[in-house]
Amino acid sequence: MPNRTRPIEKVAKATAKCSTEAAAYGKCVLADYNSVHKDMCVKEFMRLKDCFLAASKKG
């Protein structure tokens, strides 16, 4: 199937555009990775997700 982009490739492309947000989220999780709990970095994640959603709409 030529020229058919798989959904995961779109996700990868959109995520690549949000490297600043991703780095902030990663840093937040790693800051205390021995006691990670649910929604520990929800603020950073929502920022990453917003950026991701905006990027996937554009792409």
Q: Which residues bind another protein (CB under 8 A)?
A: 6, 8-9, 11-12, 15-16, 21-23, 25-27, 29-30, 33, 36-41, 45, 48-49, 52
Quote the least distance from Cβ 36 to another protein, whole Å. 4
Quote the least distance from Cβ 21 to another protein, whole Å. 8
Per-residue CA distances from 54 to 3, 17, 18 (Å): 23, 10, 10
Give the residue among 35, 50, 25 at the shortest CA–CA distance from 58.
50
Distance between CA 40 and CA 55 in Å, rounded? 24
Between 11 and 54, CB nearer to another protein: 11
